[in-house]
Amino acid sequence: MNSPERATDALADRQAALVRALVTGSQIPDGFDTDAVTAAARALLHKRAGEVARRCPLLAHACDDFIARFIVWAADKPKTSTASDARAFAEYAGIAQYASGTPSRVRMAFLRRRR
């Protein structure tokens, strides 16, 4: 393998390590600004929580301090889809009525009881 190919492979490896740090909380690779990567990772988690809250407002409403709890839960879990994030978080938060996909009438009754 010649030098340009090695350089390209090394760059690809560093980029992959950076993406892992951003989306799964893996170690930040050497040479990157730790504060900037941490801030970007947190912003991505906040955006992800917002996507779940917009798609599943009943879940966000059913969970006290949804954004903060979601960010803690999601910090080491890569996103697969918003729907799967919502289901998995609901299970984690103990909101079984939401996680099981029960009819909305039952979910609404559950939310009324939480107030």
pLDDT in the model for residue 72: 96
Q: Which residue in the block uniquely carries the two structure tokens 């090695």?
A: 6
Domain count, the chain: 1
Q: What is the pTM of this model?
A: 0.75
| The token pair that represents 23 in the structure block | 């989306």
Q: For residue 63, with 0-12 CB atoms within 10 Å meaning exposed, 13-18 middle and 19 or more buried, which class applies? A: buried
Confidence tier at 86 by pLDDT (50, 70, 90): very high
Give the separation between CA 104 and CA 43, rounded to whole angstroms: 31
Average pLDDT over residues 71-75: 96
Give the separation between CA 101 and CA 4, rounded to whole angstroms: 52
- Residues 94-107 have pLDDT tens digits of 886 655 444 456 55
- Residues 3-21 have pLDDT tens digits of 888 889 889 999 999 999 9
Q: Which residue in the block uniquely carries the two structure tokens 């993406």?
A: 19
